[in-house]
């Protein structure tokens, strides 16, 4: 192998190695945004009426959604959607870390006037 051929070979290999390193994905930052988890309590009869709209709103805003229909979830849920005299209304949990998201979820699911002021 001549000196020129060896130099060309070294430059080619070095270029491939650098190109391979440049194409690697950067490691993810540990401060990556985690989507908020919004927990909702829905009465069983109302669940069928609002589930599709809840899932659509959560997907549109990139939220994780936990929907429960058991009575134990009523105290833990960020938003409770209940049937009050045939009309769906929302109750927001005071002090919820995702209160803004819970309110937006209720607004997307329920008709105007179903949220407390």
User: In a 3-state reduction of DSSP, which class is residue 59?
Assistant: helix
- Does residue 66 form part of some domain? yes
- Nearest in space to 54 (alpha carbons), one of 95, 99, 107: 107
H helices of the chain, in order, are 3-22, 44-61, 99-109
- Does residue 22 form part of some domain? no
- Does residue 46 form part of some domain? yes
- The domain of 95 spans 37-109
The string of pLDDT tens digits covering residues 13-49 is 667 666 666 666 656 655 567 899 999 999 988 888 8
- Does residue 86 form part of some domain? yes
Tokens 């540990």 locate to 30
Region 69-83 average pLDDT = 91
Classify each residue of 28-46 as buried b or exposed e, where b means 16 or more C-beta atoms within 10 Å of its C-beta.
eeeeeeeebebbbbbbeeb
- Does residue 21 form part of some domain? no
Tell whether pTM > 0.95: no
- Does residue 10 form part of some domain? no
């Amino acid at each position: 192998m001549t000196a020129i051929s060896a130099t060309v070979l070294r430059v080619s290999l070095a270029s491939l190695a650098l190109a391979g390193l440049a194409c690697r994905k950067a490691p993810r930052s540990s401060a990556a945004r985690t989507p908020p988890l919004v927990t909702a309590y829905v009465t069983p009869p109302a669940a069928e009426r609002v589930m599709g709209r809840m899932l659509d709103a959560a997907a549109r805003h990139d939220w994780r959604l936990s929907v429960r229909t058991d009575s134990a979830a009523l105290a833990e849920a960020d938003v409770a959607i209940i049937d009050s005299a045939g009309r769906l209304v929302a109750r927001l949990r005071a002090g919820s870390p995702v209160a803004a998201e819970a309110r937006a979820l209720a607004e997307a699911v329920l008709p105007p006037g179903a949220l407390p002021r």
